[in-house]
Amino acid sequence: MIISVAKEVKAQERRIALSLETAQKYLAMGFELQVEKGAGELSGIKDEDFAKIGVKIVENAYQGTDVLLKIWAPIEEEFSRIEANTTILAHFDYAFDTDKMSQLQAKNTTCFALNLMPRISRAQSMDILSSQSNLAGYKAVIDAVAELDKAVPLMMTAAGTVAPVRFLILGAGVAGLQAVATAKRLGGIVFASDVRPQVKEQVESLGGRFVDVKTDENLETSGGYAKETSEAYQRKQNEAVKEQLKTTDVLITTALIPNKKAPLLVTKEMLKLMPEGSVAIDLAAESGGNIEGTKNGGTVEISGVKVIGDSQLASKLSASASKLYARNLFNFLSPMYDKATKKFQFNFDDEIVQKTCLFKTGEKND
């Protein structure tokens, strides 16, 4: 069985779906492993590093492969290179790419969307959203502070006192909680809000202060994700956020709803409430953004606030992100390994396999 790792073609993507550590594990299992030329360079892994441990460096990772590992699902320019009956593991935005899905389906591929990993305890080590969001939350704070013209911690000096920077984090999922923790470690005063009141304890355990919006609505799915909110809740949330924005130096928004447009949390009018020179980073920019006027992959100034739209923050930490992503893939595949045949035997009765499989040899998985 041949496992291949392709070079990512998505703009600004620096990660690779393999590390030297996981490469050695696949080789020890008896697989033939091939990596597309230059695929690891932007993550600090040279072709010769792979070659030294027995990985074959190829010009076309799609040719003759059984299992294809990627960060992102193949895009239009890759379709002609994919061979029939290939098993593909990647992040699939399947709800927005129905044409792409039908083309992959026509090639009798078996596709696993690791971004659909169920939130159960034994799947935690396979969860690509959590591993990458964790890094994105950290990087959001670092980038925001770099753009800010203020020192973050409280400073008592002979010349006077420097007040600490105030952060507001909207969305207390994995990225949001890491943003809370990072901002707190830097010495900031941190506030966080989420539609799920049960995350209050997690925010407070990290040193943040939870902005509570009282409601009787159940705003969490059975899978642990946030639901869309009612208009009544949105009005209450807007009022609470407006009050916080008046003294917020750094705003970080992380709210996403799976397979839907990101919820709008902050309007241009609300940005006017923030102090001049404030910074906002929108992690949901690629899905429409939580901040009105966000430009994905760019920076715009709105009412004196620098608004940065960046959905590729994990990619900027490519060395760390690639290692974690590669482990997620290995942790997903290794339980499927059959020692007798030295192949992966997928158990489609398993909840993890069932929930992540989009197609099984071209047949849609319902």
Which has the higher per-residue pLDDT, 99 or 123? 123
Answer yes or no: 127 catalytic. Answer: yes
Choice among 12, 102, 124, 198 that is catalytic: 124
- 31, 38, 67, 93 from 361: Cα distances, Å: 21, 30, 12, 19
Q: Examine the pLDDT at 215 and tell me if it is beyond 80.
A: no
Annotation says 62 is catalytic: no
In 3-state terms, what secondary structure has residue 352? helix
pLDDT digits (tens, 9 = 90+) for 261-285: 899 999 999 999 999 999 999 999 9
pLDDT digits (tens, 9 = 90+) for 167-197: 999 999 999 999 999 999 999 999 999 988 8
- Examine the pLDDT at 366 and tell me if it is beyond 70: no
* Helix (H) / strand (E) containing 356: helix 351-356
* Distances 263 to 218, 245, 295, 324, 366 between C-alpha atoms, Å: 17, 18, 15, 28, 27
Cα–Cα dist 166/184, whole Å: 10
| 124 noted as active-site residue | yes
Catalytic option among 130, 193, 202, 320: 130
How much is the pLDDT for 205? 97
Query: Which pLDDT belongs to residue 213?
Result: 78
For the segment 227-254, what is each residue's pLDDT rounded down to a tens digit? 566 777 778 888 989 999 999 999 999 9
What pLDDT is stored for residue 248 in this prediction?
98
Which candidate in 15, 34, 127, 196 is catalytic?
127
Q: Name the pTM for this structure.
A: 0.91
Q: pLDDT tens across 47-80, in order?
A: 999 999 999 999 999 999 999 999 999 988 899 9
Of residues 119, 143, 234, 350, which has the active-site annotation? 119
Cβ 309 vs Cβ 295: under 8 Å: yes
Catalytic residue among 24, 93, 143, 225: 225
What are the structure tokens assigned to 135, written together?
């890094």
Instruction: Report the alpha-carbon distance of residue 69 to residue 18 in Å, rounded.
Output: 8
pLDDT at residue number 197: 84
| Domains of the chain, start order | 2-116+318-360 (3.40.50.720), 133-316 (3.40.50.720)
**Beta strands 2-5; 32-36: pairing state:** parallel
Q: What is the pLDDT of residue 82?
A: 94
Segment 127-148 shows an average pLDDT of 97
Active site residue 15: no
pLDDT tens readout for residues 287-322? 899 999 999 999 999 999 999 999 899 999 999 999
Q: Please state, in angstroms and rounded to a whole number, the distance separating the CA atoms of residues 143 and 281.
A: 8
Q: What is the pLDDT of residue 207?
A: 96
Tell me the average pLDDT of the chain: 92
Quick one: pLDDT band at residue 102, thresholds 50, 70, 90? confident
- Strands annotated E in the chain: 2-5, 32-36, 56-58, 67-72, 87-91, 110-113, 155-157, 160-162, 166-170, 189-193, 209-210, 250-253, 279-282, 298-302, 305-309, 337-338, 343-344, 357-360, 363-364
pLDDT value at residue 272: 97
